[in-house]
Amino acid sequence: MDIIIELILKVLDLYALLILVNILGTWIDPYNQIIIFQWIRKITEPYLRIFRIVIPIGNMNFDVSAILGLMVIEMIRAIFIRTASLGML
């Protein structure tokens, strides 16, 4: 059972890392031309679309979906670790 818990936590960590790389990719490749960033966006966009909130700031828009998505992943991790440590899993 511990192996499954560790695997789930690693998958959540990996997905959070992909979201961070996606954020970096929007700065490096804003026109979505680099293939690795295209691949990462295809993986992360369906999840981030749930949290899509765009805040207009002057002539720019600030998208908070990645921040909210990472917060939810971290809350899921914390709940999962807590229930595993209490022996509920």
Domain boundary assignment for the chain? 1-86
For residue 60, give both structure tokens: 């720019």
Closest CA to 83 of 15, 13, 9, 11: 9
User: Using CA atoms, how far apart are residues 15 and 2, in angstroms rounded to an integer?
Assistant: 20
| pLDDT score, position 2 | 79
| pLDDT score, position 12 | 97
| pLDDT score, position 55 | 87
User: Using CA atoms, how far apart are residues 67 and 26, in angstroms rounded to an integer?
Assistant: 14
Amino acid at 86: L
| Positive or negative: CA dihedral 10, 15, 16, 22 | positive
Amino acid at 77: R
Q: What is the pLDDT along the chain (89 residues), one digit of tens a residue?
A: 678 889 999 999 999 999 999 999 999 998 989 999 999 999 999 999 999 988 888 888 888 999 999 999 999 999 989 988 887 76
